[in-house]
């Protein structure tokens, strides 16, 4: 694959150090800088690595629970994703060549570059960004805000279990999951509200009974 970054404009006159994407700790890909470079990288990458959907963990070092999750559970996440969803991480070129363990700081420093290249909202972090084809501009995000590592892995076990029960693994299936999950949450809220209302009604009834 043609090395990305060669013959392309520099950002603010400064060449951004190269990094790499990885499918696993032995297979790496150079990361794109800027929209047009991203599109060119994706054209080559998607031909070589065909999956139903792709996912990137969109977070930075300040998202400590997500950092811990990725460093501790990234192997399990890849296993959960199966053979139809590719989890993509950013890697430092030199460390990746040495097959060193994944360190989230390598991934984190490339996240904003990716977001800015696609003109996405930074305030949406942290999340999981799913897509089928980057040029389509069609993405589905799974919110990771205020979730610790155990909650994240539980969420993903539920998510991929749902996905692989569907006829196809696609963004539409992910949207069905988000809709079903929102319904489940709303029903739970209604049940809790009804129970709370029932408790209040019972207390008022008891107060009335004793007043008699």
Alpha-carbon distance of 105 to 60, in angstroms, equals 8
Alpha-carbon distance of 88 to 21, in angstroms, equals 6
Three-state SS sequence of 72-100: HHHHHHHHHHCCCEEEEEEEEHHHHHCCC
The pLDDT of residue 181: 84
- Pick 25 or 40 by higher pLDDT: 40
3-state secondary structure of 55: strand
The pLDDT of residue 32: 59
The pLDDT of residue 170: 95
**Whether the predicted pLDDT of 85 surpasses 70:** yes
Of 7-16, 20-29, 94-103, 132-141, the least confident = 7-16
The pLDDT of residue 24: 39
Q: Burial letters for 182-206: b for 16+ Cβ neighbours within 10 Å, e otherwise?
A: eeeeeeeeeeeeeeeeeeeeeeeee
How much of the chain, in percent, has pLDDT values that exceed 90? Answer: 40
Fold of 19-168: Glutaredoxin (3.40.30)
> In this structure, what are the phi and psi dihedrals at residue 102, rounded to the nearest 5 degrees?
-65, 125
At 62-80, the pLDDT tens digits run 999 999 999 888 888 989 9
The pLDDT of residue 22: 39
Domain ranges of the chain: 19-168
- The first and second tokens of residue 88, run together, are 């993509």
The pLDDT of residue 75: 86
How much of the chain, in percent, has pLDDT values that exceed 70? Answer: 69
3-state secondary structure of 153: helix
**Whether the predicted pLDDT of 126 surpasses 70:** yes
Over residues 196-211, the mean pLDDT reads: 50
Query: CB under 8 Å to 138, separation ≥6 — which residues?
Result: 131, 132, 171
The average confidence (pLDDT) of the chain is 76
Cα Rg, the chain, nearest whole Å = 22
**Whether the predicted pLDDT of 16 surpasses 70:** no
């Amino acid at each position: 694959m043609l090395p990305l970054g060669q013959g392309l404009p520099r950002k603010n006159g400064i060449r951004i150090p190269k990094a790499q994407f990885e499918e696993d700790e032995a297979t790496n890909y150079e990361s794109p800088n800027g929209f047009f470079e991203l599109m060119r990288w994706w054209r080559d990458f998607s031909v070589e690595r065909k999956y139903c959907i792709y996912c990137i963990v969109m977070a930075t070092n300040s998202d400590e629970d997500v950092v811990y999750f990725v460093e501790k559970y990234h192997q399990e996440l890849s296993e959960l994703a199966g053979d139809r969803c590719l989890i993509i991480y950013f890697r430092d070129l030199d460390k990746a060549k040495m097959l060193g363990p994944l360190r989230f700081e390598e991934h984190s420093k490339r996240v904003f570059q990716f977001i800015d290249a696609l003109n996405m909202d930074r305030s949406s972090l942290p999340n999981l960004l799913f897509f089928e084809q980057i040029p389509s501009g069609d993405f589905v995000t799974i919110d990771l805000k205020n979730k610790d590592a155990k909650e994240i892995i539980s969420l993903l076990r539920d998510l991929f279990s749902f996905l692989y029960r569907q006829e196809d693994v696609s963004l539409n299936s992910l949207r069905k999951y988000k809709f079903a999950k929102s319904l489940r949450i709303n029903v739970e809220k209604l049940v809790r509200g009804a129970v709370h209302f029932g408790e209040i009604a019972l207390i008022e009834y008891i107060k009335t009974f004793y007043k008699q």
